[in-house]
Structure 1
Amino acid sequence: MAKATTTGAEGSALLRWIATSGLLLVVAVPCLFIIIQAIFPDIGSGSLAAPFSLFFRTLSDPDLFGLAGNTLLLGVGTVFFAALFAVPLAALRALFKVPGAIIWDALLLIPFMIPPYIAALGWIMTLQPHGYMEQVTGINLAGLIFSVPGIMIIMGLNTFSVVYFVLSRTFETIGARYSDVGRVFGAGQWRSFWRITFPLAMPGLAASLLLVFAMSIEEYGTPAALGRRIGFDVLVTGIENRISEWPIDLPGSATLSLVLVGMALVAFMIQRWLLTRRDYRIVSGKPQASDKRALGLWAVPVSLYFGFITFLATGLPILAILATALSRTISGGLTAENMGMDNFNELLGKGSEGLVALGNSLALGVSTALLAGLLGAITAYSVVKGRGRFRLVLDALSITPNSLPGVVVAVGIILAWNQPWLPITPYNTPFILLLAYICILLPQPVRYATASLHQLGDNLESAARVSGSGPLKAFIRIIFPLILPSMVTSMILVFAVASRELVASLLVAPIGFQTIAVYIWTQFDQGSAGLGMAMAFCAIMITTLIPLGLIGLLRWLSKGQVAGLN
């Protein structure tokens, strides 16, 4: 018994050691070096002299106020347009019988799966002078897309599906019963909705809009593709400029990174303040009717409205991407003679740069999914099943990347692993990209594993220990197989995002090493829009259809196993 106890303690300690070492390497070290570099500007040369000298100089730089103001303006504007698109759709979807509701849900999920920078490039090809819209309709809307409101509208179309899905489920939970009570007391239908139903949905609205704000202030591709043409720089592009343009300003980029993180944290605090001011509890132990009302004569206008927003968010960007990918030359326009598979043939030709980039991204995506999934499962197990206060530290480290924009993670990775005094470093190798991807995406498998572990009782491990197994063997033979379906789902999502990640790829990719995102960005910079869009179309197919297909297959297999047991 003493030997079994010793083995169990060693196995538990090993899992905790793996989780701690992994989180320190992937998360803590980059975050720490951002802070150190901001405070000690000469840390790269091993000097701790003149602390805070460049930190306060950067904070007092007039350019910083412009970057921060533009970032805040972009975040708030994107939130406004995302809410403008999402709230009416969500209310209609939840409270009324919308024709083809399931189909609309599937179509409105696609904008979230399309990388924002690819959608932005599609909009450029559509609305630029002599673009597709002008060729088809004669209307020139270049003034709209190359403007600050235009950037906000495009980013709102890229992110509104987050608000739509959260808010529609929230409205569905509330139902129409509270609004009916208001109507009994003399309020009209619209007044009952805005004074009763809508305020009760504030938790879902605040959470989803906070996510949209965080996504918009950390988004690099759309501001870089559109904002730079009109001189609209934000913190993300400012950080990238300080790293990629001479003279390199590492302390300045670290300071701007801290400002960006602080802005995200302030938004989170505002959300918490809004949600603690009132009581939003609406679910009790009593059964609640959830009947939806018929639209009647409004069924056709509502369907047309859903179709219009779906076309703007999903159809138009994909059509623009495909049209550009099939065009032999951009100047040839939308003519039958100018269409062909030339770009796809060149992209996927044997030994082509595009095929190499595609293989690099797929290899990195699979590696990131496997390693992040394994580390996430071990971390979640150490947090949920572990003891002591140290598990709270692990939990905090595991969710820290949620508050770190991708550009901040990239800066931290560069600062941590580009130090001249390091005897060995993954910098300027593909492994540096792997570290960046794992850091950015680690919270996904951790949250999935945590949710699954909370559903498992302690009796399974207790039975294993009675049989002589330690925590390590019980985790490998019992716990991990039980949480594997959830982990596979999270790893599929990690693969989809890692395969197309842009900002970390641009900043930390080794010289000459191309990924899908780097290839697309480079082709547009070089004027080869057709090749770039051919790769973009392939990326959308890979990162949308394959994950959705695998998730559907996984659910089908799970149902088959349950049916077999019955």
Structure 2
Amino acid sequence: MQNKNVSLQNPLGYFAMAGLLLVVAVPFVFIILQSIFPQLGSGSLANPFSHIAALFDDPRLFRITGNTVLLGLMVVALSALIAVPLAVFRALYKVPLAIFWDILMLIPFMIPPYIATLGWIMSLQPRGYLEQLAGFNLSSFLFSVSGMTFVMALNTFPLVYFAVSRTIEAVGARYADVGRVFGASSWRSFFRITLPLATPGLAASLLLVFAAAIEEYGTPAALGRRSGFEVLVTEIDLRVSDWPIDLAGAAVFSLALVLLSLGAFMIQRWILNRRSYVTTVGKPQAKDKRALGNLTIPVVGLFALVSFLATGVPLLAILATALSKTISGGLTLSNIGFDNFSAIAENSAGGMKALINSLSLGVASALFTGLLGAVAAYAVVKMRFCGRNFLDVLTVLPNSLPGVVVAVGLILAWNQPALLVSPYNTPLILLLAYCCILLPQPIRYTTAAFHQIGDNLEAAARVCGATSFTTFRRIMLPLIAPSLITAMLLVFSVATRELVASVLIAPVGMQTISIFIWRQFEQGSVGLGMAMALIAIVITTLIPLLLLTLLKGRKFSL
């Protein structure tokens, strides 16, 4: 019999319930209410469903939803085309400089998609860096559905690369070798044995790519609008930010986006549950990997090409633009300087204030989501109390809430005329948005950590008279600290440069890093925006890496 806390009055469980209701349930419930009651914003529940028929008669709903699905599928296909061959070579063969390539594949995670997109715009647009170096530009390709897919896939393919390479590495080549003993060709053995056994990693990563693609705002906003390719995210932004404001329509489009995200999650569960992918051996030894032989030069060339496109081009474009005194000066030594960085240090256009705002919100988001995520995961995994199953649902719900949906939900929830006190139009509204969007990270990490901790430790603590709170603080929290700190650092990195929620609900007059960069591009101060982008990439990469290095091997006690 498991020794789990069965008290119906345990404060940890109800703290987690209250926190998740505030952060997750409130925006989601108001999205649903607004989609039903079109006059909710004025405090009225009159004429329910009256606008639904008009929206479904509008061909834009189905066209934009179709565009969103099409874009997601195209990004998935191109990400798989790029990542799977690289992952197979990395997993089964001795690739020269393998660790070096892994690091280069990891860097796109450190570059926010909208910043990478701006780098590609600077490179391929008319009179961009490609035209200055080679005499031609690729603007017609970039500002098209194909160009948008290309840019987004270069940002998302590492999800597939790392998942598939590690999964195939765990499977190894021995099963394929058995197939070849029984007469199968090498290609048949790979496609009938190795690749199917790698389905869990492949399915999970491709559906993550799909979810990331349909939720991405910066790239469709920067590239899609010029080509007339509208998706749900940009349409929701348009209905919320442009006059006349259409909150009811934004709510319906938000629900469509939620359903797409939830559908991707359910498909993943169905794929993984329909058959067994268990192998009977552990991770293969290095001797299982084969030499590339005649394929060495082509494979290394492929890794180098993908690394250059995914990492080199955006970083070089960001660096070149940030160091340019004027954009019209081009790539010349006389045009290189640190004027843009000096301007930010002098708080030009509010750059330093934006940096401080984002760092403060990033730290606050990491602390709050870390605490709430750890308590919620502990309550779900280790406790029994009234409402535990509902709490479990609330911990899963943020996975299907894109950032733009969270932003719309917060606008609807906290902008009601009946509220006497509201966080709307204050920095607290951004904190709520970041916490809802990023809460899945600490919940995933700490849930996995709690599952690895036996119940005997809690039983021993209770025998010695410890309360549930003391047990959590003195025993469980130190044991999960490495996983929790990793998740909190990830939250910090993402929160400091989050774009879509920041653009939609930031208080009047308040800037964050992402808002500052976006506005500088809109206003033509591209060099200043790229300087801030480079600062953001350096800070949000080096600070987590430095802290992880300092904390490595340290024992935690509270």
For Structure 1 versus Structure 2, the TM-score category normalised by the shorter chain is over 0.9
For 1:287 and 1:408, the matched residues in 2 are separated by: 41
The residue number in structure 2 matching 1:355 is 352
Distance 1:165 1:389, change over 3 A: farther
For 1:438 and 1:505, the matched residues in 2 are separated by: 12
Deviation at 1:27, TM superposition (A): 0.5
Q: Percent identity?
A: 63
Matched, 1:135 2:159: no
Name which of 17, 20, 25 aligns with 1:20.
17
The residue number in structure 2 matching 1:155 is 152
Distance 1:43 1:212, change over 3 A: same
The residue number in structure 2 matching 1:424 is 421
Supply the AA of the counterpart residue of 1:542. I
Supply the AA of the counterpart residue of 1:72. V
Matched, 1:466 2:463: yes
Asked whether the equivalents of residues 321 and 536 of structure 1 are also in contact (C-alpha less than 8 Å), the reply is yes
Matched, 1:453 2:450: yes
Deviation at 1:287, TM superposition (A): 8.6
Asked whether the equivalents of residues 9 and 470 of structure 1 are also in contact (C-alpha less than 8 Å), the reply is no
Deviation at 1:324, TM superposition (A): 0.5
The residue number in structure 2 matching 1:182 is 179
Supply the AA of the counterpart residue of 2:60. D
For 1:388 and 1:515, the matched residues in 2 are separated by: 40
Matched, 1:551 2:544: no
Asked whether the equivalents of residues 8 and 469 of structure 1 are also in contact (C-alpha less than 8 Å), the reply is no
The residue number in structure 2 matching 1:509 is 506
Moved more, 171-180 or 335-344: 171-180
Distance 1:256 1:298, change over 3 A: same
Deviation at 1:150, TM superposition (A): 0.8
Alignment of 1:128-527 (within 5 A): 128-281=125-278, 283-284=279-280, 291-349=288-346, 353-388=350-385, 390-527=387-524
Moved more, 547-556 or 74-83: 547-556
For 2:548 and 2:263, the matched residues in 1 are separated by: 35
Distance 1:42 1:97, change over 3 A: same
Asked whether the equivalents of residues 172 and 283 of structure 2 are also in contact (C-alpha less than 8 Å), the reply is no
Deviation at 1:22, TM superposition (A): 0.5
Asked whether the equivalents of residues 171 and 283 of structure 2 are also in contact (C-alpha less than 8 Å), the reply is no
Supply the AA of the counterpart residue of 1:340. G
Asked whether the equivalents of residues 169 and 283 of structure 2 are also in contact (C-alpha less than 8 Å), the reply is no
The residue number in structure 2 matching 1:3 is none
For 2:47 and 2:516, the matched residues in 1 are separated by: 41
The residue number in structure 2 matching 1:4 is none
For 2:192 and 2:460, the matched residues in 1 are separated by: 54
Deviation at 1:321, TM superposition (A): 0.4
Moved more, 151-160 or 259-268: 259-268
Supply the AA of the counterpart residue of 2:216. E
Moved more, 479-488 or 505-514: 479-488
Distance 1:386 1:279, change over 3 A: closer
Alignment of 1:42-81 (within 5 A): 42-81=39-78
Distance 1:464 1:179, change over 3 A: closer
For 2:416 and 2:246, the matched residues in 1 are separated by: 15
Supply the AA of the counterpart residue of 1:28. A
Supply the AA of the counterpart residue of 1:284. T
Q: Any gaps of 5 or more consecutive residues in structure 1?
A: 1-6
For 2:191 and 2:464, the matched residues in 1 are separated by: 60
Deviation at 1:266, TM superposition (A): 2.1
Matched, 1:111 2:111: no
For 1:218 and 1:138, the matched residues in 2 are separated by: 35
Supply the AA of the counterpart residue of 1:68. T
For 1:286 and 1:228, the matched residues in 2 are separated by: 49
Distance 1:102 1:513, change over 3 A: same
Asked whether the equivalents of residues 6 and 384 of structure 2 are also in contact (C-alpha less than 8 Å), the reply is no
For 2:463 and 2:175, the matched residues in 1 are separated by: 53
Supply the AA of the counterpart residue of 1:231. G
What's the secondary structure of 1:53's corresponding residue?
Answer: coil
Asked whether the equivalents of residues 163 and 205 of structure 1 are also in contact (C-alpha less than 8 Å), the reply is yes
Asked whether the equivalents of residues 170 and 282 of structure 2 are also in contact (C-alpha less than 8 Å), the reply is no
Name which of 82, 88, 91 aligns with 1:85.
82
For 1:501 and 1:137, the matched residues in 2 are separated by: 34
CA deviation digits over 1:498-530, x for unaligned, max 9? 001000000010011000000000000000000
Deviation at 1:277, TM superposition (A): 4.3
Asked whether the equivalents of residues 71 and 235 of structure 1 are also in contact (C-alpha less than 8 Å), the reply is yes
Deviation at 1:85, TM superposition (A): 0.7
Distance 1:137 1:287, change over 3 A: closer
- Show structure 1 runs of 4+ deviating over 6 A: none
Distance 1:311 1:378, change over 3 A: same
Moved more, 57-66 or 500-509: 57-66
Alignment coverage as a number of residue pairs: 552
Supply the AA of the counterpart residue of 2:111. I
Asked whether the equivalents of residues 130 and 140 of structure 1 are also in contact (C-alpha less than 8 Å), the reply is yes
Distance 1:389 1:212, change over 3 A: farther
Supply the AA of the counterpart residue of 1:313. A
Aligned Cα root-mean-square deviation (Å): 1.9
Supply the AA of the counterpart residue of 2:280. S
For 1:445 and 1:54, the matched residues in 2 are separated by: 38
TM value normalised by structure 1:
0.94
CA deviation digits over 1:438-477, x for unaligned, max 9? 0111111112222222222233323332332211122222
Moved more, 229-238 or 188-197: 188-197
Matched, 1:31 2:28: yes
Supply the AA of the counterpart residue of 1:254. A
Asked whether the equivalents of residues 372 and 441 of structure 1 are also in contact (C-alpha less than 8 Å), the reply is yes
Distance 1:399 1:106, change over 3 A: same
Moved more, 380-389 or 206-215: 380-389
What's the secondary structure of 2:346's corresponding residue?
Answer: coil
Q: Any gaps of 5 or more consecutive residues in structure 2?
A: none
What's the secondary structure of 1:421's corresponding residue?
Answer: coil
For 2:268 and 2:369, the matched residues in 1 are separated by: 29
Supply the AA of the counterpart residue of 1:156. A
For 1:156 and 1:63, the matched residues in 2 are separated by: 26
Deviation at 1:388, TM superposition (A): 4.3
For 1:328 and 1:543, the matched residues in 2 are separated by: 25
Deviation at 1:401, TM superposition (A): 0.8
